[in-house]
Structure 1
Amino acid sequence: MEDVKRIVTDIRNGNFKPIYFLMGEEAYYIDQIADYIEGNALDESQRDFNQMILYGRDVSIDDIVGQSKRFPMMAERQVVIVKEAQDLSRTIEQLVSYAENPQPTTVLVICYKYKTLDKRKKLYKTLSKQGELFTSKKLYENQVPDWIRRVLKGRGYTIAPKAAQMLVEFIGTDLSKINNELEKLQLIVPVGTEISPEIIEENIGISKEFNNFELQKAIGERNIKKAYSIAQHFAQNPKNHPLVMTVALLYSFFNKLLKYHALPDPSAAPKVLGVNPYFIKDYQVAARNYPMKRVSAIIKGIRAVDMKSKGVGAHNMSQGDLLKELLITIFDH
């Protein structure tokens, strides 16, 4: 994110704001900025007396203000970092009096995860003028593989598109969790290596053969034997392969396939569908196997199975039976 780069560059150049209010759904960037300030705002010799880490569940706004109004000891500035500040959401507006007149020798960092301030209220407006108000937005699922690629490129690695997709399918869109797995790989894999599906399978425990991504691919190719083989594996390991995730992925796939059918210019598919160009060939193949009218019927069938998976008319059907029913719906034409 450009805002993250700008903030880090300013800090690196010694240009500090008196308050950094870091908020939003994506915790990863909040942690990255706070950690960078924690590690770079002061020399190591200055931190013992001039750097304080507080936690929202343990302090009040008065405690934070009191700490922030202190003067640094034998240093140009002091740093006060409040982690998990979302625990103070009921009283956070009380910070407005300090925000109006912050201590110039204090760098106050507020980590307000999974929440945002009300733009209509005074604290938001004051922080917009007096400090750095940063909102960390959640990435869409189709943006995460490219994020993985960029992070690894910055660390001297490349990654195969399928391997990146496997990580997203297995871990989801939580950037902190994905980053933890990438850091584990860095301890094992030499710099300069391309992260392949085999490396993911061997070191993270994600099967490159039995996962939702491979099921989607088998369905798109109308490889009935492979699709049922994967479904059988899922049925035997329901905790590792919850039906709700499979249904969501297939629903997304066929919705995108419907859009692909409607495209006047197929070359626009990556942008319109929000899909890496590497995977467009999967939609080209699926479009030949599933005409538009059939896709509409399949989407209706997926919705029906989704309702059954939530107990509506399912009569206690197992996840495995529901998935097999869904495959019958998809392949039945």
Structure 2
Amino acid sequence: MKVRPDQIERHLKNQLAAIYFICGDEPLQVMESADRIRAEARKQNYTEREVMDVDAQFDWNLLLDAGNSLSLFAEKRILELRLPTGKPGKVGSKVLQEYAQRPADDAILIISSGKLESSSKNTKWFKTLDQQGVVIQCWPVNADQLPQWINQRLQSKGLTADNDAVQLLADRVEGNLLAAAQEVDKLFLLYGAGKLNFEQTASAVANSSRYNIYDLVDTALAGNVTRTSRIIGGLKNEGVEPVLMLWALSREVRMIAKISEANVSPDAAMAKLRVWENRKALIRKALSRHRAPRWKLFLKRCAKIDKVIKGVEPGRAWDELLMLSTQIAQ
């Protein structure tokens, strides 16, 4: 069964499903969808939690073992499987089908994934999860929908805002929901619940940190090696989490890799991927410096950095991020 992110609250008023599969290229919606399911499960006395991160060395028997084992304290459990690539592989596909046919009686399984390739939706494992559980696909919010999304986010904090103020926020975040949510949180902390005007919103936006992850991405794409290096240092000093930087960089690299491999012109590929108009010049500039094989290599580096951040591979995350960013800029 398929459920949209905005339908989750209504769905959860009924019985919890045994399996949830949350996927998409919009990390905030994926994360918050899982949060809502987890919160409802806890209300229903699912008190134990076990998290499994899938990588190339992951032992899929761990999922089957977790499903078959009983809690030491006879408590209901939340099993979480993080599948960042959206590709379980041959062994994983079989295990997911097997688990879905016989889910644990005392547990719910929450699988979270990045964006699925179209071909994945025709696989047996996906169809089985869709039939036996709930599939929640999180799509990016387009430019026309973003002001409405921001308004809803403001209302959830007890805030309202002028149309001009909402549009200012939409222009600043350029479709990035995580950035939009952070701006709304900041406005609530600054002004509390109530009505916001344009001047208050503009002041809060102007007082953002000196460096941010979006500056890093734009500067690297523009080809400014010196400033890219300086921004990395600034973000490190400001205590920004490496995982946020990697998310911003890998999202852009993944998209540009697709554009570079497309059998159509870059402009046609960008139109198909709904690239924002004010980002197209930056992407063209980056494409002029690096061809498709190079973007594939950058994507592999992103995967390696993810393992370094998680402690799966040795290395220093900040050094790896500096190397990746400056290589993109060169």
Distance, in Å, in 2 between the alignment partners of 1:79 and 1:25 is 24
Aligned to 2:106: 105
Aligned-residue CA RMSD (Å): 3.8
- Please tell me whether Structure 1 or Structure 2 has the larger radius of gyration of its CA atoms: 1
Aligned residues of 1:166 and 1:206 also touching (Cα < 8 A):
no
The answer to whether residue 58 in structure 2 is matched with residue 56 in structure 1 is no
Distance, in Å, in 1 between the alignment partners of 2:104 and 2:156 is 36
Aligned residues of 2:46 and 2:75 also touching (Cα < 8 A):
no
Aligned residues of 1:86 and 1:111 also touching (Cα < 8 A):
no
Structure 2 counterpart of 1:36, one-letter code: R
Aligned residues of 2:21 and 2:133 also touching (Cα < 8 A):
yes
Distance, in Å, in 2 between the alignment partners of 1:241 and 1:87 is 27
Aligned to 1:70: 69
Q: Secondary structure at the match of 2:42?
A: coil
Q: Match for 1:176 among 160, 175, 178?
A: 178
Structure 1 counterpart of 2:36, one-letter code: Y
Matches for 1:1-333 after TM superposition, within 5 Å = 3-13=4-14, 15-42=15-42, 47=47, 50-57=48-55, 59-74=58-73, 77-86=76-85, 89-91=88-90, 92-94=92-94, 95-116=96-117, 118-194=120-196, 196-205=197-206, 310=285
Structure 1 counterpart of 2:52, one-letter code: L
Distance, in Å, in 2 between the alignment partners of 1:7 and 1:68 is 24
Question: Cα 1:307–1:73, aligned 2, differ >3 Å: closer, same or farther?
Answer: closer
Q: Could you state the TM-score of these two structures normalised by the residue count of structure 1?
A: 0.56
5+ residue gaps, structure 1? 208-237, 244-301, 314-333
Q: What does the per-residue CA deviation read over 1:30-53, in whole Å, with 9 as the maximum and x for residues that have no partner?
A: 111211222331259863xx2112
5+ residue gaps, structure 2? 209-217, 224-276, 289-330
Aligned residues of 1:34 and 1:81 also touching (Cα < 8 A):
no
Aligned residues of 1:85 and 1:113 also touching (Cα < 8 A):
yes
Structure 1 counterpart of 2:66, one-letter code: Q
Aligned residues of 1:11 and 1:41 also touching (Cα < 8 A):
no
Structure 2 counterpart of 1:201, one-letter code: A
Aligned residues of 2:20 and 2:135 also touching (Cα < 8 A):
yes
Distance, in Å, in 2 between the alignment partners of 1:99 and 1:205 is 49
Distance, in Å, in 2 between the alignment partners of 1:56 and 1:162 is 44
The ranges of structure 1 where at least 4 consecutive aligned residues each deviate by more than 6 angstroms after the TM superposition are: 240-243
Distance, in Å, in 2 between the alignment partners of 1:182 and 1:37 is 23
Aligned residues of 2:26 and 2:177 also touching (Cα < 8 A):
yes
Distance, in Å, in 2 between the alignment partners of 1:154 and 1:192 is 11
Q: How many aligned positions are there?
A: 220
Q: Secondary structure at the match of 1:129?
A: helix
The Cα of 1:112 is off from its aligned counterpart by 0.6
The Cα of 1:27 is off from its aligned counterpart by 2.0
| Bigger mean CA deviation after superposition, 93-102 or 126-135 | 93-102
Q: Percent identity?
A: 21
Distance, in Å, in 1 between the alignment partners of 2:172 and 2:99 is 44
Q: Could you state the TM-score of these two structures normalised by the residue count of structure 2?
A: 0.56
The Cα of 1:87 is off from its aligned counterpart by 6.6
Q: What does the per-residue CA deviation read over 1:233-286, in whole Å, with 9 as the maximum and x for residues that have no partner?
A: xxxxx959979xxxxxxxxxxxxxxxxxxxxxxxxxxxxxxxxxxxxxxxxxxx
